[in-house]
Amino acid sequence: MGKEIPSRQEDYSLWYNELVKKADLAEHSDVRGCMVIKPYGYSIWEKMKQALDKMFKDTGHVNAYFPLFVPKSMFEAEEQNAEGFAKECAIVTHYRLKNDPEKKGKLIVDPAAKLEEELVVRPTSEAIIWSTYKKWIQSYRDLPLLINQWANVVRWEMRTRLFLRTAEFLWQEGHTAHTTAAEAIAETKQMLDVYAAFAEQYMAVPVIKGKKSEGEKFPGAIDTYCIEGMMQDGKALQAGTSHFLGQNFAKAFDVQYAGKDGKLEYVWGTSWGVSTRLMGALIMAHSDDDGLILPPKLAPIHVVIVPIFRNDDELTKITEKINPVIEALRQQGLSVKFDSRDTHKPGFKFAEWELKGVPVRLAIGPRDLENGTIEVARRDTREKQVMNLDQVSHQIPALLNTIQENIYNRALSFRDNMITRVDTFDEFKKVLDEKGGFVLAHWDGTSETEGQIKEQTKATIRCIPLDASEENGSCIYSGKPSAKRVLFARAY
């Protein structure tokens, strides 16, 4: 009955798709590869934005907005970057439609309105931003330039999945310019730390910080750093990236500054971003077969209250009793939903709010009115307890903190159990097939080996962990010497 979703064990990807739709997060639109983010899903994204935006501001960044369209010539300027995205760019070639003379009521592209120069719909904004920075930067006094933008971007993906990979998605992209390489590298790492802190403290998703291999890095970057999370099906998900761009874009767009000594130097750059893909990570890291499990810090509704009543009179009495509790919870900054609909039974409401992942549910009925109590249920453990009505509003904030910690710890121990060290290629393949998760193994550092392993196992090097300890060993594939283990996984 009602909205049931398939179990994770039956079909993980079907479970994910159905959960996204049934929990009212998003749905496919009539536009191929694009999704509609529904109000409930969007409010989670808004909470993410809010927290991240504050973290960016606290580290000295300011927001700005750059255009959606990038002239093709500008896009070409940084070759590596342009080539990397060329295969998935949407292009604007015309600027006008006209009535179809053949078919009434139909529109056709007006061939007379062809653009002199095509416009690329941004797959990322380095080109337009660096060509603007050229105008903004003359002196060392103009640096560092620390700018972020919240925007949509378009990458014409062949196969799409709600939140994880769509043709258009929402993200933020930070673009900074610095006088020295050291400062730019420090910025790159700082923002990686910001992302990791956000993932762990707000999303309750533990992540591994690391550096991408040559093959996996951002085209146009010198180094790409990332945070990698582990999903419940044993596949890895890249949740954020931070790039040290060196002087690549400065040279491509001729962005130079005069130093104190009057000499012209190219600036050093970084860029970093997270996207609505984080929604996918959030969903897949915590949720269960009954629906979403949201960390309190990102839940649009912290507490839902379900009254149990047989008639208007009982509802009135419950409302009178519960209103002060609602008020007290809101005073503490919590978002509270009082679900007094008389069109659905309590059991239906319980199931619905569980599907939507509301962390805490309160239920109050005639029996509670007599006893001065209320039932408190946690979404993460499904535990129920009865509390005194006059104490409940004081205890909820602590309970929410407990839930936030619990789902983080649960995800952390799952993730830790999903890291396996292997020393042979046979073991490597066996672990990937039978257990999944991250595999820590020695690698000779060549892209040939990386490519061979990818081809044979579909596993990629997720990152070279920043905290990897020096350890002499030999590459699982080639047997050549290796100084540290890298993190492999099959990934989203």
Q: Which stretch binds RNA (CB under 7 A): 78-86, 387-395, 403-411, 476-484?
A: 78-86
3 counts as binding RNA under rule CB under 7 A: yes
Q: What's the CA gap between 34 and 179, in Å, rounded?
A: 40
Q: Name the nearest CA neighbour of 290 among 344, 357, 343.
A: 357
Q: Could you tell me the smallest distance in angstroms from the CB atom of residue 40 to RNA?
A: 14
User: According to CB under 7 A, which one of 12, 18, 28, 397 is a site residue for RNA?
Assistant: 28
- Cβ within 8 Å of residue 259, ≥6 positions away: 140, 179, 265
346 counts as binding RNA under rule CB under 7 A: yes
124 counts as binding RNA under rule CB under 7 A: yes
Place of tokens 């940084």: 78
User: According to CB under 7 A, which one of 12, 150, 350, 414 is a site residue for RNA?
Assistant: 350
User: According to CB under 7 A, which one of 76, 157, 265, 427 is a site residue for RNA?
Assistant: 157
382 counts as binding RNA under rule CB under 7 A: yes
Q: Could you tell me the smallest distance in angstroms from the CB atom of residue 156 to RNA?
A: 10
308 counts as binding RNA under rule CB under 7 A: yes
Q: Is the peptide bond before 296 cis (omega within 30 degrees of 0)?
A: no
103 counts as binding RNA under rule CB under 7 A: no
Q: Are 139 and 258 in contact (CB under 8 A)?
A: yes
- Our CA dihedral for 145, 146, 151, 154, rounded to 10 degrees, sits at 70
Q: What's the CA gap between 360 and 370, in Å, rounded?
A: 23
User: According to CB under 7 A, which one of 9, 87, 469, 470 is a site residue for RNA?
Assistant: 87
131 counts as binding RNA under rule CB under 7 A: no
Q: Which stretch binds RNA (CB under 7 A): 49-57, 329-337, 375-383, 411-419?
A: 375-383
Q: Are 237 and 217 in contact (CB under 8 A)?
A: no
Provide the 8-state DSSP code for 165: B
213 counts as binding RNA under rule CB under 7 A: no
Q: Could you tell me the smallest distance in angstroms from the CB atom of residue 22 to RNA?
A: 8
Q: Are 121 and 68 in contact (CB under 8 A)?
A: yes
Radius of gyration of the chain (CA): 26
Q: Could you tell me the smallest distance in angstroms from the CB atom of residue 265 to RNA?
A: 27
Tell me the CA distances in angstroms from 239 to 8, 45, 136, 407, one per residue in order: 21, 14, 31, 18
Residue nearer to RNA on the CB measure, 187 or 368:
368
Secondary-structure breakdown of the chain: helix, strand, coil percentages, each rounded to the nearest 5: 35, 30, 35
366 counts as binding RNA under rule CB under 7 A: yes
Q: ∠ CA 308-313-315 to the nearest 5 degrees?
A: 30
Tell me the CA distances in angstroms from 317 to 209, 308, 323, 386, 458, one per residue in order: 53, 11, 10, 19, 61
Q: Could you tell me the smallest distance in angstroms from the CB atom of residue 454 to RNA?
A: 9
Indicate the pairing of strand 268-275 with strand 264-266: unpaired
Binding residues for RNA, total number by CB under 7 A: 53
Residue nearer to RNA on the CB measure, 39 or 481:
39
Amino acid letter, residue 24: D
Q: Is 230 helix (H, G, I), strand (E, B) or coil?
A: strand
User: According to CB under 7 A, which one of 377, 399, 441, 476 is a site residue for RNA?
Assistant: 377
Binding residues for RNA restricted to 5-24, rule: CB under 7 A? none
Q: Could you tell me the smallest distance in angstroms from the CB atom of residue 492 to RNA?
A: 9
Residue nearer to RNA on the CB measure, 309 or 477:
309
Q: Name the nearest CA neighbour of 303 among 372, 395, 388.
A: 395
Residue nearer to RNA on the CB measure, 223 or 368:
368
User: According to CB under 7 A, which one of 78, 168, 173, 216 is a site residue for RNA?
Assistant: 216
Q: Are 361 and 306 in contact (CB under 8 A)?
A: yes
Q: Is the peptide bond before 144 cis (omega within 30 degrees of 0)?
A: yes
**b/e 356-369 (16+ beta carbons within 10 angstroms → b):** bbbbbbbbbbeebb
Residue nearer to RNA on the CB measure, 13 or 402:
13
1 counts as binding RNA under rule CB under 7 A: yes
Amino acid letter, residue 431: V
- Measured between its terminal Cα atoms, the distance across the chain in Å is 32
Q: Could you tell me the smallest distance in angstroms from the CB atom of residue 312 to RNA?
A: 8
Binding residues for RNA restricted to 34-63, rule: CB under 7 A? none
Binding residues for RNA restricted to 243-272, rule: CB under 7 A? none
441 counts as binding RNA under rule CB under 7 A: no
106 counts as binding RNA under rule CB under 7 A: no
Q: What's the CA gap between 72 and 180, in Å, rounded?
A: 30
Q: Could you tell me the smallest distance in angstroms from the CB atom of residue 355 to RNA?
A: 6
Q: What's the CA gap between 80 and 250, in Å, rounded?
A: 14
Q: Are 176 and 270 in contact (CB under 8 A)?
A: yes
159 counts as binding RNA under rule CB under 7 A: yes
4 counts as binding RNA under rule CB under 7 A: yes
Q: Which stretch binds RNA (CB under 7 A): 98-106, 186-194, 323-331, 374-382?
A: 374-382
Q: Name the nearest CA neighbour of 172 among 152, 193, 154, 155.
A: 152
User: According to CB under 7 A, which one of 123, 210, 229, 359 is a site residue for RNA?
Assistant: 123
375 counts as binding RNA under rule CB under 7 A: yes
372 counts as binding RNA under rule CB under 7 A: no
313 counts as binding RNA under rule CB under 7 A: no
Contact residues: RNA, CB under 7 A? 1-4, 28, 32-33, 81, 84-85, 87-88, 123-124, 155, 157-160, 165, 216-219, 238, 241, 290, 308-311, 342, 344-348, 350-352, 354-355, 363-369, 375, 377, 382, 384
